[in-house]
Amino acid sequence: MTYRVLILGASYGSLLGTKLIAAGHDATLVCRDKTARLINEKGTEVRIKLRDEDDHRAFRSGDLPGKLDAVTPEDADPASYDLVCLAMQEPQYSHAELKDLLQRIAKARVPCMSIMNMPPPPYLKRIPALKDASLDEAFCDPAIWDAFDPALMTLCSPDPQAFRPPEEDANVLHVGLPTNFKVSTFGDDKHDAMLRTLEADIEAVRADGKDVPVKLRVFDSLYVPFAKWAMLATGNYRCILDDGVQPIRDAVHKDQSASREIYGFVNDVVVGLGAAPEDMVPFEKYAAAAEKLLKPSSAARAIDDGATGIERVDKLTKLAAGAIGRNHPVLDRTVETVDSRLKQNATETV
């Protein structure tokens, strides 16, 4: 069966879109008019390095069996799709045209898979320990999610690292760390069967007989995507300094003892929320991967470029920890630093 998938976000979302159309499914990317026209004219190009090869391969949408196109938020018809994927940064959904699209998605009752670092509030309501917790402070505009049925929202951890090369057009994406997407099930037989079909079809894709990295892995546990929280708290948000930024590698390895401590604390919080210890990723595995992350995180780069709003998984983690009576001074300090930098940026833009 061929599924039709609507993906909100044409940057990081083009990676998932490429994996889907390579597997024979169809994908539509939601983006700005200029980017949509570029994609509809030239297609997308996603560069992935295959195992045991020195150079990245270019996977062009026009060469793949599935169909890919792009539309603006105003022109998207969510009721025409089997699945909606949320692949933008959480603050972006507060823009008027995207708020309107979200309401139409909720009304159409299409199952949604978020691949944001920031779990949407409807997904958090599926977590018993957080169902009634006060988490709104972490979100840019929490009310825009009120119309969504939690049973139709699942979460996919955006573990693959990718970026748009600054010298290239907006239809090009370079994958720096080709790890896997990890998605939790919906708890609905029909919707979970769709996820497992997509998982199997992506797994089967080959290029010249070779396996292609970046898979979709489906888990029954609600907590597997939360394994990313420790990575974000240890690396991504600690890239943000009082007076600048630093690479993820430095944030993790400059003081590995402190990094191990905060990583372990956040993993303990997730276990305290209900996760099994085996849902978590060991610090050693993350630290090894961080050796290759030579740039500041996207959150750090955004703040350094003057952003006044970013995804606040750091604050969400602090609030979730507080919901079960936990706190950590390093995490508190990280949240204070991010708050301060965002406030400074907001003051400078007035």
349 pLDDT above the threshold of 90: no
Lowest mean pLDDT among 135-139, 163-167, 302-306: 163-167
User: Directed axis angle between helix 329-349 and helix 256-273, to 10°?
Assistant: 100
* Residue-averaged pLDDT of the chain: 96
Q: What is the mean pLDDT of residues 151-167?
A: 92
Q: What is the mean pLDDT of residues 87-92?
A: 94
Q: What is the DSSP letter of 305?
A: T
Say what percent of the chain tops pLDDT 70: 100
- d(Cα 220, Cα 5) in Å, to the nearest integer? 21
- d(Cα 207, Cα 49) in Å, to the nearest integer? 11
**pLDDT tens for residues 218-243?**
999 999 999 999 999 999 999 999 99
**pLDDT tens for residues 210-221?**
999 999 999 999
- d(Cα 47, Cα 49) in Å, to the nearest integer? 7
Q: What is the DSSP letter of 328?
A: -
Spell out the alpha helix ranges (H) of the chain.
Answer: 13-22, 33-42, 96-108, 121-124, 189-203, 227-231, 248-253, 256-273, 283-290, 298-304, 313-323, 329-349
Provide DSSP, 239-258. Answer: GEETTEE--HHHHHHTTHHH
pLDDT at 176 (0 to 100): 87
114 pLDDT above the threshold of 70: yes
pLDDT at 242 (0 to 100): 95
Domain boundaries, the chain: 4-219, 224-349
350 pLDDT above the threshold of 70: no
Q: What is the mean pLDDT of residues 336-342?
A: 97
CATH number of 4-219: 3.40.50.720
| Residue in 310, 180, 163 with CA at minimum distance from that of residue 239 | 310
**pLDDT tens for residues 292-332?**
888 899 899 999 999 999 999 999 999 999 999 999 999 99
Contact 67, 2 (CB under 8 A): no
- d(Cα 338, Cα 120) in Å, to the nearest integer? 20
Provide DSSP, 1-29. Answer: ---EEEEE-SSTHHHHHHHHHHTT-EEEE
* Structure tokens given for 220: 């029954």
pLDDT at 205 (0 to 100): 98
pLDDT at 168 (0 to 100): 92
- Domain 224-349 bears CATH identifier 1.10.1040: yes
115 pLDDT above the threshold of 80: yes
- d(Cα 283, Cα 263) in Å, to the nearest integer? 7
* Structure tokens given for 100: 């309107």
* Structure tokens given for 159: 């573990």
* Structure tokens given for 27: 């994908």
**pLDDT tens for residues 42-71?**
999 999 999 989 999 999 999 999 999 999
Angle (CA) 70 74 76, round 5°: 50
| Same CATH fold assignment for domains 4-219 and 224-349 | no
Q: What is the mean pLDDT of residues 85-110?
A: 96
Classify each residue of 46-74 as buried b or exposed e, where b means 16 or more C-beta atoms within 10 Å of its C-beta. Answer: bbbbbeeeeeeeebebeebebebebbbbe
**Residue 170, class by beta-carbon neighbours within 10 Å (0-12 exposed, 13-18 middle, 19+ buried)?**
middle
Residues whose CB is less than 8 angstroms from the CB of residue 224 and which lie 6 or more positions away in sequence, other chains included:
157, 182, 184, 275, 279
- Per-residue confidence at 102, pLDDT binned at 50, 70, 90? very high
pLDDT at 346 (0 to 100): 93
